[in-house]
Amino acid sequence: MENNAKSDGCPAVTPGRGANGTAMKIAVSGKGGSGKTTIAGTLARILGRQGQRVLAIDADPAPNLAITLGISREQAEAITSIPRDLLERRAGLEGDTVLVLKKTTREIIEGFGVEAPDNVTLLLMATVDHAGAG
């Protein structure tokens, strides 16, 4: 048995952290109406209450994670999403095209993050303006 394993054989992991102590990223996706927002919001708040700094990102084109996180409907409707033009197309070294973020993650969080209860910060992803060819 490894040193950091518990008696049930599972590694002893700090909540909100991966087995090696690094920050954990959790993506919730799935079928419409299957409870994604409820699970994502509840998980974010539980981890936040346990003392983790949680960044919740709502990528739903019809975002409503804010309400599950405990933000008022009025405040939720006033949230500015991350602008689409933060991503810039640049020529890559091998003649390819690469997408580059014009701001650092810290600048994006400081500029667009909304403080929610339970140690959670919410970011709204830019939504698609209209459908186009793929």
Match 């909304």 to its residue by tokens. Answer: 114
Nearer to ligand ATP, 60 or 118 (CB): 60
Give the CA dihedral 47, 50, 54, 57, nearest 10 degrees: 30
Applying CB under 5 A, the span of 4-12, 17-25, 28-36, 123-131 interacting with Mg ion comes to 28-36
115 DSSP β-pair partners: 121
The verdict on 33 binding ligand ATP (CB under 6 A) reads: yes
Told to check if 70 binds ligand ATP by CB under 6 A, we report no
β strands within 4-119, DSSP E? 54-58, 87-91, 97-101, 114-116
Where does this chain touch ligand ATP (CB under 6 A) — which range of 32-40, 69-77, 83-91, 97-105?
32-40
What letter does residue 72 receive in the DSSP assignment?
Answer: -
C-beta closer to ligand ATP: residue 34 or 75: 34
Residues of the shown chain interacting with Mg ion in the complex, contacts defined by CB under 5 A = 36-37
